[in-house]
Structure 1
Amino acid sequence: FLLPQSLLGLISGVFVDRWNRKLTMILADSFIALCTLAITFMFFEGKVEIRYIYLLLVLHSIGSAFHTPAMQASVPLLAPANQLARVAGISQMINSACSIAGPPLGAFLLGLFDVAYILLLDVAGALIACVSLLFVHIPNPERKEKTKLNIWNDLREAANGVRAIKGLVSLFLISVLATFVIMPVNVLFPLLTLIHFSGSTFQMGIIEVVWGGGMLLGGGIIGIWALKINKVVLINAMYLLLGLMFFFSGLLPPEGFIFFAIFSFFGGMAGSIYYASFIAVIQLRVAPEILGRVFSTYSSVNLLPSILGLLGTGFIADTIGISTTFLISGLIVCLLGIISYFFPTMLSLGKDI
């Protein structure tokens, strides 16, 4: 699911910045809905195969490669600059609520309906989103000059725009390095629960819920209380909190599951505050006309090394152990958080947000 989006994302932003952004979101959502509808018909006919499920995930990823940067690049055109962090926080709250309620709701619906009817709910949701967008005016940023499509030149224009903003390259680089370490560790949460703590699938579910609850609180802290804190300082602090959560989770004895659940709650909160703050900084500091390219390229550059990290997760965990992996990863993330405070130009990006 990650690979198509990460590869296509390298160029999808070029088209997002050239096309009508509202129309791009509507078409991307419609494309994803049509793919889901096709799989639904296969379920009704009893002809569905696992390869078709994989194909659906690939096509969904392709649609997301256009929808996500178009949506993220549209927010600064709708919300006042001083409200961008709150919007990002509220968005995190919505995503967190979905991650908490989604699995049990899905299990409940599976007990009542055939999976084909449940997939129709996804199609209906996309239809509602598309119709709703028709009634929202989303202005398109004016390009400085109308030029013929040249993907390389458009990407170079965006890269020059990012380099012109002091500290932004450092912010991106540290974020990519942190994600490279964090994403593989997230995959190990179920294994730490099952193997180290000798837990059950129910306890795995508890960790998922408390992590989601932490994300919900983190989104609320940014979205409702609107913290008047330098957002880059806040990002760096969340690196430290997340790193400490990994580190101390790796130190826990087998009977320390309850503390792991508590650490997971604060880890989810840190991740939510970090992401909302990061998105708000980018939306405020980057020019709207190149924002689609910046978000899509950053997402791709962020995901590609993470995929490599995910592929090596099993080998690393088998070689040095799951707990040791948490310890080392926590130290690395903490180190990145400390180093980040020594970039004055990067810290200045988070002021007045």
Structure 2
Amino acid sequence: MKEWKKKCILFLVSQNISLFGSSVVGYAITWYITLKTSSGMWMTASILCSLLPQLFISLFAGVWADRYHRKMLIMVSDGFIAASTLGLALMFLVGKDSMWMLMLVSAVRSVGAGVQTPAVGAIVPQIIPQEKLTRINGINQTCNSVLMMISPAVGGVLLGSVGIAWAMLVDVITAALAICVMAFLKVEKPVSKGQISMWKELKEGIQYTTGHAIVSRILVFYGIAFFLITPAAFLTPLMIERTFGSEVWRLSANEIVWTVGSLLGGVFVAWKGNFKDKWRVMAVSYIGFGVTFLLLGLTPYFWMYLAVMMISGAFMPALATASTVMLQEEVEAGKLGRVFSVFQIISGSVMPLGMLIFGPMADRVPIQWIMVGSGALLAAAGKMIRR
């Protein structure tokens, strides 16, 4: 077996193990808040705690990913997230649970994710040949979808049977396994830049991102898309609870059908192997998201809702792969970490901004109306990409 394939396997196994545990905890926390409060304000607070810390730490995480050992950053951040989750689980187990403590640990976990994400995005071209990036990203999206299909069921079973504390312990175990697997991956440390200040590197990365014609264009549409995807990403559990019923199985089914669609989309991307016109792929994906989100707000029956949600999920792997591979192909290796951190800052800022608007709105107007409006705008944005 070729060396790059061995590295690729170790990396994919490690990251997907870590993703599984994080997904179980993420779903458990979201559903716990939904079922306990049925409040758009508490859901907004949860999203802000999960995203804002990533926004602030990303200012530096991209520089660290270009300066320090990316493998070690990934391992340390995994351990940091697991330790904070373990502490929260123990507090819940001894009866010292509170919504505010849940918010605090969500923020701490967000810091770890903020450090890890640019390092993960930047390390991929180090271990995978450029001509294989699309196929490997497609395989990774497929693996993600399989695990994301399982994790809602696991999260729902654990939350409904033994409580949120035990669901949290799953993340601790998977993080430990992911760190052990990652330890066997051999990746070179980025070349030292000498005594260049961190602020200068940060400024250089921002200027490069905003000044690069292709990267800056992706960035603009990236920001628009994340803002308009916010209602579908975070308010659908609340919409289901208010419209169709508060049973945990409905929330689980919502996530499962999305991941089934994403799984099928990932298989297609892996089979395709490469996209000649990545802009077109992004445009079609945006329009597909927009139309399906609009339909989610109009469906009167839960089975119809699930069918539309599955179709919507099929567009995610193509969109994620096209945009990620474009960045990995266009950006020079020494700046990848900072470019990915800028993109993380955008997603980390526009989605909380979206929740500040859409969250309180969800307590005043039907969420279905919000879905219809955001879907229509997202479809319109997709048509603009090709112009």
TM over 0.5, yes or no?
yes
Q: Aligned in 2, Cα 1:154/1:264: closer, same or farther, shift over 3 Å? A: same
Q: Aligned in 2, Cα 1:167/1:63: closer, same or farther, shift over 3 Å? A: same
Tell me the equivalent position of 1:173. Answer: 220
CA-to-aligned-CA distance 1:214-273 (integer Å, 9 cap, x gap): 111112211244244422210111001111112233344x3x443322221111111232
2:183 and 2:250 mapped to 1: Cα distance? 43
Q: Aligned in 2, Cα 1:182/1:160: closer, same or farther, shift over 3 Å? A: same
1:167 and 1:63 mapped to 2: Cα distance? 29
Match status 1:261 vs 2:321? no
Shift of 1:57: 1.6
Tell me the equivalent position of 1:185. Answer: 232
Ranges in structure 1 where 5+ consecutive residues have no aligned partner: 343-353
CA contact (8 A) 1:193 1:199 kept: yes
CA contact (8 A) 2:239 2:367 kept: yes
* 1:150 paired residue among 198, 203, 208: 198
Shift of 1:80: 0.8
TM-score, structure 1 as length reference: 0.85
2:98 and 2:156 mapped to 1: Cα distance? 21
Match status 1:240 vs 2:287? yes
CA contact (8 A) 1:161 1:286 kept: no
2:348 and 2:292 mapped to 1: Cα distance? 22
Shift of 1:184: 2.1
1:269 and 1:327 mapped to 2: Cα distance? 19
Tell me the equivalent position of 1:347. Answer: none
CA contact (8 A) 1:88 1:277 kept: no
181-190 or 316-325: which moved more? 316-325
CA contact (8 A) 1:85 1:280 kept: yes
Match status 1:276 vs 2:321? yes
* 1:249 paired residue among 287, 296, 306: 296
CA contact (8 A) 2:291 2:376 kept: yes
Question: Within 5 A, what are the aligned runs for 1:28-67?
Answer: 28-43=77-92, 45-67=94-116
Tell me the equivalent position of 2:146. Answer: 97
Tell me the equivalent position of 2:45. Answer: none
Q: Aligned in 2, Cα 1:139/1:189: closer, same or farther, shift over 3 Å? A: same
CA-to-aligned-CA distance 1:253-301 (integer Å, 9 cap, x gap): x3x4433222211111112321122112111211111111111121112
Identity percentage of aligned residues: 29
* 1:85 paired residue among 109, 134, 145: 134
CA contact (8 A) 1:86 1:222 kept: yes
2:127 and 2:266 mapped to 1: Cα distance? 20
TM-score, structure 2 as length reference: 0.78
Tell me the equivalent position of 1:21. Answer: 70
Q: Aligned in 2, Cα 1:179/1:107: closer, same or farther, shift over 3 Å? A: closer
Shift of 1:103: 2.8
Question: Within 5 A, what are the aligned runs for 1:68-79?
Answer: 68-79=117-128
